[in-house]
């Protein structure tokens, strides 16, 4: 298995784990008190696009925050497919 494939799947699984932690904290599942700071675990997955979104008008930083990890995931998928094409 190629390193890019490992990177893609590792990024996806860790993002889903962080998103699951965020949702469980926001809903107060498992006896936790609801906490909005659980979203801090999601910020590194969207870098550097999260920083671009901060300079935009009001509704767009939230949209950038939600879409930035998906953009990074799409870039990793493209790099994985491109490297797989070159190696045969």
Residue 73 has pLDDT above 90, yes or no: yes
Task: Give residue-wise pLDDT tens across range 1-11.
Answer: 688 899 999 99
pLDDT tens digits along 14-59: 999 988 888 888 887 878 787 777 788 888 999 998 888 888 888 8
pLDDT at 10: 95
Q: Any idea where the domains of the chain sit in the sequence?
A: 3-87
Gap between the Cα atoms of 53 and 22, Å rounded: 20
pTM beyond 0.85: the answer is: no
> What is the distance, to the nearest Å, from the Cα of residue 79 to the centroid of all Cα atoms in its chain?
16
Query: 74: which 2 tokens?
Result: 């799409």
Distance of CA 9 to the CA centre of its chain: 12
């Amino acid at each position: 298995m190629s390193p890019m494939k490992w990177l893609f799947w590792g990024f996806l699984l860790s993002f889903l784990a962080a998103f699951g932690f965020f949702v469980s904290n926001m809903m107060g599942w498992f006896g936790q008190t609801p906490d909005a700071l659980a979203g801090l675990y999601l910020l590194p997955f969207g870098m550097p696009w999260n920083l671009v979104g901060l300079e935009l008008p009001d509704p767009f930083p939230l949209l950038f925050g939600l879409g930035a990890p998906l953009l990074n995931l799409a870039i990793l998928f493209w790099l994985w497919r491109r490297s797989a094409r070159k190696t045969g």
